[in-house]
Amino acid sequence: MTTNYGAEQIQVLEGLEPVRKRPGMYIGSTGSRGLHHLVYEVVDNSVDEALAGFCSHIQVTLNADGSVGVIDDGRGIPTGIHPSTGRSALETVMTVLHAGGKFGGGGYKVSGGLHGVGISVVNALSEWVEVTVWREQKVHQQRYERGVPQGDLATQPLKGDRTGTSVVFRPDAEIFTTGTEFDYATLAGRLRELAYLNAGVEITFTDARLELLKTDEPKSETYHYAGGIREYVEYMNKDKQPLHEEIIFVQGERNNVQVEVALQWCVDAYSDNLLGFANNIRTIDGGTHLEGLKAVLTRTMNAIARKRNKLKENEPNLAGENVREGLTGVISVKVPDPEFEGQTKTKLGNTEVRGIVETLVGEALTEYLEFRPAVADSVLEKAIQAFNAAEAARRARELVRRKSVLESSTLPGKLADCSSRDPSESEIFIVEGDSAGGSAKQGRDRRFQAILPLRGKILNIEKTDDAKIYKNTEIQALITALGLGIKGEEFNASQLRYHRIVIMTDADVDGAHIRTLLLTFFYRYQRAMVDQGYVYIACPPLYKVERGRSAHYCYSDRERNQIIATFPENAKYDIQRFKGLGEMMPQQLWDTTMNPESRTLKRVEIEDAAEADRIFTVLMGDRVAPRREFIETHGPRLNLTDLDI
């Protein structure tokens, strides 16, 4: 232990050193999410050029050597000598934190890049970066290794008027210890989203990793949506039945804040799906733009309901969740000086945006619905039905009400609660059946682990209304045990009784079905809880391989085969396949699945909200045709021997 603490112990991190020292501060994590964030940072710069009106085509390529290339046809990063650094503007942008054109000064009117750390962070966390700029009839090139320029900017004359920027980088394996392989689907989801949010921009995404693809041809997709967010709503509602064919679209600008809203209600949906974006960044935790949209929807629909005599004088107003039932909506705002809460930018804080959204949407929506009374009537009828169903469910809901967060008068009888009263350290395991529940109750640590056994398969809430949900015993037990409150109300994390909600089901088809039903319930009933990372899936072992006195637990066929491969050829060993958690001894269950020291938990995260919503609709909704099409498309990829039939 050091005892001398003087001025020489104070470290000053120069240049890009702080990024390599604490990468999580800049990109969120050094896992898969942070790795993909690097690509988004580079692509966002190209999209900002598009927003400024100078770029129409962006190419993103995953190269065979593990690097990524992003090329645009924008103005090109400036290459002149920067007055305050004495180096080229390109080198300044690449090597100095908080250097960029997004702080005012006429470079960009609006942008997602806010702190000017994007491209320099990518540079710091890459093994190498090669930048090429086409500008002013010259081509400029420079290479960096782990943030350090390798020589000066090389400039050559260029025939023609080509402009643009190319950034090729390979992530540093020293930083990204979990691997540097990019996932095509994750990147495709974000690039598609950007193309929807910026109507007219064309993004070409190519995967040239032929070894990984096991093909001779690169895989390429182009995203180009002239209809912008209208097409985004259409994509999300592809497998639903719309209440009105035409998507309601509002576009306007006030005080330099641009607002775009697209809305469509559906007959066969019982919850809302509103996505908010600010300067192309998805605001998972909401913000003033979404608050404004929700408020104006409620106010406008109530005013029209009174005007059209759908609500009588003595009847109460429709609540926000009634109006939004079955609604799919996207709101995209472009704000010159955005205030985000946190570096990862998941909540918009600008107070003026709320008023601007309310005014613009209020005027346009009122005018739209007054000219289309049939649409107004059908939306209001659905809202009034939702209101009546909510009233019918209110008595059932009283059972759900709780006296306080942790002391409850009517906790379900089968819940084996933990002794801790601190939600942040408490966890609950939702298990299928009483036999698994028995093992789990005996094997758990009573201090902070609670067990809730469920009987059979819970209700599929994707295709049921609220009244049925609240009458269902198993769902009632879930709501009460977890402290979930009421569907449609704002999620309040302080009411949650456990901050780790773990789904622990058997490793067979029925277990997978129950897990899907539970995930559907959490996603549709209280989606913010899933978004904020409170839901986990336990990973019980599939096999126990015993040889002599040593036993190995295996979580996959591959792991089992690897362990068997280490045995001598004539070795004797036994393999036990765990069909259900009830077959495991309490101590085994604790050691493999419940002990925080040795278990594996998967946190449920939603990267692509639109795709998640669509998949829930296809697989769990009440229309058979889209589900059949899904099975026919993906069926050939299945190995039938893996199915537990």
Marked catalytic residue, from 130, 268, 445, 510:
510
Give the model's pLDDT for residue 408.
Answer: 44
Specify the pLDDT at position 145: 93
- Considering the entire predicted model, what is its pTM? 0.71
Q: What are the residues whose beta carbons fall under 8 Å from the beta carbon of 123, sequence distance 6 or more?
A: 16, 94, 95, 129, 144, 147, 169
Contacts of 309-318 spanning 24+ positions with Cβ under 8 A: 310/377, 310/380, 310/381, 310/384, 311/384, 318/383, 318/384, 318/387
* Annotated active-site residue in 321, 466, 506, 613: 506
Which of 41, 207, 432, 466 is catalytic? The answer is 432
Residues 348 and 283: beta-carbon distance below 8 Å: yes
Which pLDDT score is estimated for 17?
76
* 506 in active site: yes
Confidence at residue 111, expressed as pLDDT on a 0 to 100 scale: 62
Between the CA of residue 49 and those of 54, 193, 451, what are the distances in Å? 6, 17, 53
Distance CA 154, CA 387 (A): 68
The reply to whether 510 belongs to the active site is yes
Q: Catalytic annotation on 508?
A: yes
The structure tokens 């086409």 sit at 134
Given the residues 508, 546, 557, 629, the one annotated as active site = 508
The runs of H, that is alpha helices, within 198-312 are 210-213, 229-236, 288-307
Predicted local confidence at residue 536, as pLDDT: 94
Going by their DSSP bridges, the two strands 248-254 and 126-135 should be labelled as unpaired
CA–CA distance, 561 with 552 (Å, rounded to integer): 12
Is 391 an active-site residue? no
The tens digit of pLDDT for each residue in 117-145 reads 578 889 999 999 999 999 989 999 999 99
Dmax over Cα atoms in the chain, in whole Å? Answer: 86
Low pLDDT (below 50) residues in the chain: 103, 114-116, 400-409
**What is d(CA 281, CA 114) in angstroms, rounded to the nearest whole number?**
11
Domains of the chain: 17-223 (3.30.565.10), 229-397 (3.30.230.10), 399-540+580-605 (3.40.50.670), 544-577 (no CATH)
Kindly report the length of the chain: 645
